[in-house]
Structure 1
Amino acid sequence: MKRSIAAPLAVSLLATTSAFAQDKEITVASWGGSYQEAQSKALFEPASEAMGITVKQETYGGMADVRLQVSTGQVTYDLVASGSGSAARAGAEGLLEPLDYDVIDVSNFYESLYSEYCVGGDVFSVVAAWNTDTYGEDGPQSWADFFDTEKFPGTRAYRNTVSGALEPALMADGVAPEDVYEVLSSEEGIERALDKIRELRPNIAVYWSSGAQHAQLMKDGEVDMTTGWNGRFDNAAKDGGKVSYTFNQALLDYDCFAIPKGAPNKDLAMEFLAEISKPEYQDDLPKYITYGPTNKAAYETGEISDEVAASLPSSPENAAKQLPISLEWYAEWEQVAAEMYQEMLTE
């Protein structure tokens, strides 16, 4: 009698477990455009298939959206793509779940490309890009060139938020890259950078708000040069855009993945994050966008050729030309700098 009851019960539990596995779903939010398309093809879709789970993708506006969800107790995102500085601040603000590095293997990650609340997904650069119809291949080779409207007459686009906006201005004003964050660590230094941007303002036609926007500006030839993210420009060039850029004096930064506080499927999101951090996924990312992997082992799988590696921001030759973003500065000063920047934009 006991066996006859136990057998159907076992079958029932097995069926329930199987159904539960099939119903597993997480919601991932990123920034859209060619960037999210690359993430989807290299990371999200293959990892979803390997794990046998459903990954629902959304496009979002950054940590402000996470803040709104957490503050209202209506969290729908399980995993979000974020800039490294934004994640550092959001973590300090209590908006993110601490990551479990017993689950996520970062033993082969580049140093400083993961933190308590965010693990690196790719390495990118903020570069000076130009329209090759306007300047040929000899566009601006430094931030001083970018700000020099006599040597390089024409329209500019510049970022509408402070992230990656002040450092180029200071280098254009003659500050050595290694001294940039020391100078920016005072309101006077921030004001110096803002004054340099004010000088350029008559030539700034657009303040861009997203990677998709600044790539489109260059594809359409709406501006002669802009700041922006290298991979977006490479994709714009592949699509026929007349655009080139330089890694010289670029800002070396990384995007990362974070789990919002109170994510409805936190544990599954952690497992998914562990999966997409593996080299066999990260080595595919440069096929779709020229951002470097954060997992060093991705360079050893044979998927990334020497030629492709030479075009990636994290290659030793390119990295040596750049200024690494200071998360410490952003954690301490960004709020003050952002308020000053917005005041400047509305003057």
Structure 2
Amino acid sequence: MSIRKTLLTATALAAAMGTGTGAAWAQDSITIASWGGAYQEAQRKAWFDVVEEELGITVNEDTTSGVADVRVQVASGAPTWDLTQQGNAGCALLDSEGNVEPLDESILSIPGIPDEFKGEGWISNLVYGHVIARNDEVFPDEKPENWVDFWDTEKFPGPRSLRKSPMYNMEVALLADGVPMDELYPIDTERAFNKLREIRDDVAVWWSSGAQSAQVLQDGEVDMAGLWNGRAQALTEEGAPISITFNEQIVLADCWIIPKGAKNKDLAMKAIEVMSRPEVQARIALFINYGPANADAFDTGVIPEDVAKGLPSHPDNVAKGFYLNEAYWVENLDRLTQEFDFFIQE
């Protein structure tokens, strides 16, 4: 039975009994802030519509640009958002600052979502990967398949692109220097910066947005890049000669938080519960190239197999990478960002 049919059947049954969830919440609404654009449009189709139908509420939408927005909302004493999307490092940081509502244990104990993807006040909802993308016209045969290859400018010459941030670059530099994926943390920052110096002159673009990371590949300004998988795969779907590898990917996640003091926090909890179910989680992959955070979503039959194999959270692809240690970055991001900014200007 399809998700839609299941929901309609449940709603009809509840109405017949006079105790439907929709009736209980008929006059209510919540406001969810996410990243906007095609990303948020996918969430609307995959999740928000389901929440509205099941809970009988209205989901109003807004956009966020990151952690600073949430801090401002909480500091106001009257947040206008009931639920917001952030990156997992941002969620962990806001949680450590006391800027989020603790989540119910019933949410944190939902099966299928790994411990790396949740904290006391946050839980992940989708997965993306920081991967290597390469131009297949430049590399028609042998291609860079890992970070050692990415650093090999003799075997694979050409301009590169990396994110303008210590996050991701510290990790991949150590991988290029032979450190095993399970021994990256705590990061040996001196070793990582030394390794980055080897490739710094070949990094033509330090990208600062997802759109820029894709654009420099599309324009041929660089021949390979470290970037988010969805950005690269979108280029491929548009006909660009770009391919990716999930080898040594950094497994990343976005997550839900409820800003401290949110007026509809109980209803926001119910929305999170609905959107965390495997069969609802699975729907996101039908609208964008990011994977569900709930691994059980791959057993629902909702995601076509050919689509599933191209998602960063597919079990085969997760096994090729490692999880970002958000706790490390909560403690070290500010300090290392200053060092990194000086480094790229040396």
Q: Which residue of 2 aligns with 1:65?
A: 69
Find the aligned partners of 2:141 and 2:44 in 1 and give their Cα distance.
32
User: Do structure 1's residue 191 and structure 2's residue 195 form an aligned pair?
Assistant: no
Separation in structure 2 between the aligned mates of residue 345 and residue 57 of structure 1, nearest angstrom: 38
Q: Give 2:9's aligned residue.
A: none
Cα offsets for 1:63-93 (capped at 9, x unmatched): 1221232234453222121221221121001
Indicate the residue corresponding to 2:168 in structure 1: 164
Give the secondary structure class of the aligned counterpart of 2:255: strand
- Long gaps (5+) in structure 2: 1-21
Q: Which amino acid in structure 2 is aligned with residue 119 of structure 1?
A: I
Counterpart-to-counterpart distance in 1, 2:25 and 2:234: 37
Structure 1 CA distance, aligned partners of 2:192 and 2:286? Answer: 36
Partner of 2:288: 289
Which deviations, in whole Å up to 9, do the C-alpha atoms of 1:213-242 show, x marking residues without a partner? 323333343322211111222222112232
The answer to whether the Cα contact below 8 Å between 2:295 and 2:313 also exists between their aligned partners in 1 is no
Q: Which amino acid aligns with 1:267?
A: D
After superposition, the Cα gap between the structure-2 partners of 1:209 and 1:80, relative to the gap in structure 1 and judged at 3 Å, is: farther
Task: Report the TM-score, using the length of structure 1 for normalisation.
Answer: 0.84
**DSSP 3-state at the match of 2:100:** coil
Mapped pair 1:176 → 2:175: no
Q: Hey, what does 1:214 align to over in structure 2?
A: 213
**Larger-gyration structure (1/2):** 1
TM-score, length of structure 2 as denominator length: 0.84
Measure the CA separation in 2 of the matches of 1:120 and 1:312: 16
Correspondence list, 1:20-59, <5 A: 21=25, 23-59=27-63
Residue 122 of structure 2 is matched in structure 1 by 118
1:265, 1:322 → 2: CA distance?
Answer: 37
Q: Which residue does 1:13 correspond to in 2?
A: none
CA contact (8 A) 1:218 1:241 kept: no
Instruction: Structure 1: give runs of 5+ residues left out of the alignment.
Output: 1-17
From 148, 155, 166, give the equivalent of 1:151.
Answer: 155
Q: Does structure 2 conserve the Cα–Cα contact (< 8 Å) formed by 1:221 and 1:242?
A: no
CA distance change for structure 1 residues 234 and 60 in 2, over 3 Å: closer, same or farther?
A: same
Whether 2:81 is the aligned partner of 1:77: answer yes
Say whether residues 1:223 and 2:227 are aligned partners.
no
Per-residue deviation at 1:22?
Answer: 5.2
**Conservation of the 8 A alpha-carbon contact between 2:159 and 2:203:** yes
Change (3 A) 1:177 1:108: closer
Give identity over the alignment, percent: 42
Work out the CA distance in 2 between the residues paired with 1:20 and 1:303.
29
CA contact (8 A) 1:105 1:274 kept: no
Aligned residue for 1:39, secondary structure, equals helix
Q: Deviations over 1:256-300 (max 9, x none)?
A: 111111223222222211111122211111112232222233222
Distance in 1 (CA, whole Å) between partners of 2:274 and 2:23 is 22
* CA distance in structure 2 between the aligned counterparts of 1:137 and 1:292, rounded to whole angstroms: 29
State the number of aligned residues: 325
Tell me how far 1:133 sits from its aligned partner.
Answer: 2.6
Q: Output the CA distance in 2 between the equivalents of 1:76 and 1:30.
A: 13
The whole-number CA distance in structure 2 between the counterparts of 1:20 and 1:278 is 21
Q: 1:137 to 1:117 in 2, by over 3 A?
A: farther
**AA paired with 1:25?**
S
> In structure 2, what is the Cα distance between the partners aligned to 1:153 and 1:165?
19
Q: What do the CA deviations read for 1:28-55 (whole angstroms, capped 9, x no partner)? A: 2222344333222211233223323222
Deviations for 1:11-39, whole angstroms, at most 9, x for unmatched residues? xxxxxxx9995553322222234433322
Q: Distance in 1 between matches of 2:241 and 2:61?
A: 31
| 1:332 to partner: Cα distance | 3.3
3-state secondary structure, aligned to 2:239: coil
Instruction: Give how far 1:324 is off.
Output: 2.1
Which region of structure 1 is more displaced relative to structure 2, 302-311 or 112-121?
A: 302-311
Taking a change above 3 Å as real, the CA distance of residues 108 and 176 of structure 1, as seen in their structure-2 partners, is closer
Contact in 2 for aligned 1:127/1:230 (Cα 8 Å):
yes
The RMSD of aligned alpha carbons is 2.5
Change (3 A) 1:221 1:80: farther
Aligned with 2:125: secondary structure? Answer: strand
- The equivalent residue for 1:248 is 247
Distance 1:213 1:54 in 2: 34
The aligned amino acid for 2:92 is A
